[in-house]
Amino acid sequence: MLTISVPATSANLGPGFDSIGLALDMQLTLQVLQPSDHWQIDHPFGDEVPTDERNLIIKTALTLAPDLKPQHLQVDSKIPLARGLGSSSTAIVAGLALANELSGQQRSLDELLVVATQLEGHPDNVAPAIFGGLVVSTAVEQQVHAVKLPLPSLFASVYVPNEELLTSVSREALPANLPFKQAIAGSSVANTLVAALATQNWEVALPLLEADQFHEQYRAKLVPALATIRKTAHQLGIVGTYLSGAGPTIVTLGDYGQLNELQQKLQTNSTLTGQYHLLPVDAAGLKVQKS
């Protein structure tokens, strides 16, 4: 049996817009059960997600290897859809890994990253899903560059609202242009954040997660819980709260004990009716097992 596992991802980390991503230990697991006369994928996502070759995992696999023989597949995943935890990226990476194994072509992880970036549009989610850990990445002239930074000694407090927020809607909230001075300020913060992350200087890095100039202020009205959680964290002396991806999930990075205290406090707020997770960073990324 072939088993493929891909971690959830949290992108942007504040000012690292479309370029910084973190793999979290919440997995999508794909199993190849047996050959079939047609593509079938069993999953826990309900009737809105296709169970045939229209499914994103299968569609992605056939994009990479159109001649694959149909299989009966099974997916187990706790990663919520349309919540800013990289659900589409995990499906894309799982599909590429599936095609890679079934076709026997054995493309490298770097080659899979290029294809995943082409399909996803930018690499901030797919890169950590493939490589694990904390990854800074960009695509320039059809070349994808990804740098994996030292593994953070941090945990993630993850708050997942019950309501979906489609990436397309969240993107529409962004301005078409930024004033030059604001763009320079945002770039300066992002550059310093990367340096702090690379050197594991959390005293510098964690406050900078909250100093974004590119997207959070425009999306804040779509995710009112962001201000609530950040304010509550500050009251406890915790900094490092940001909007995960395009939202609406909100992540706070920090020490396990502090984050546990934060979640206990947040759960007393009747307006925060979503789900809570306290997750370590996933160091491995894409995993493939054969038995």
Cite the beta strand spans of 154-212 per DSSP E.
Answer: 155-160
Torsion over CA of 14, 15, 19 and 25, rounded to 10 degrees? -20
Which of 171, 147, 153 minimizes the C-alpha distance to 243?
171
104 annotated as belonging to a binding site for a ligand? no
Q: Is 80 annotated as a binding residue?
A: yes
84 is in an annotated binding site: yes
* 128 labeled part of a ligand binding site: no
83 is in an annotated binding site: yes
Q: Is residue 13 a known part of a binding site?
A: no
Strand partners, 23: 9
89 is known to lie in a ligand binding site: yes
Question: Was 156 annotated as part of a binding site?
Answer: no
Q: For residue 30, what are the contacts with CB-CB under 8 A and spacing of at least 6?
A: 3, 4, 5, 6, 57, 73, 74, 75, 94, 97, 98
Instruction: Say whether 183 counts as a known binding-site residue.
Output: no
Q: Is 291 annotated as a binding residue?
A: no
Q: Answer yes or no: is 86 a known binding residue.
A: yes
Residues with Cβ within 8 Å of 215's Cβ and at least 6 positions away in sequence, in order, are 12, 17, 174, 243
Binding residues for ATP: 80-90
Binding residues: 80-90
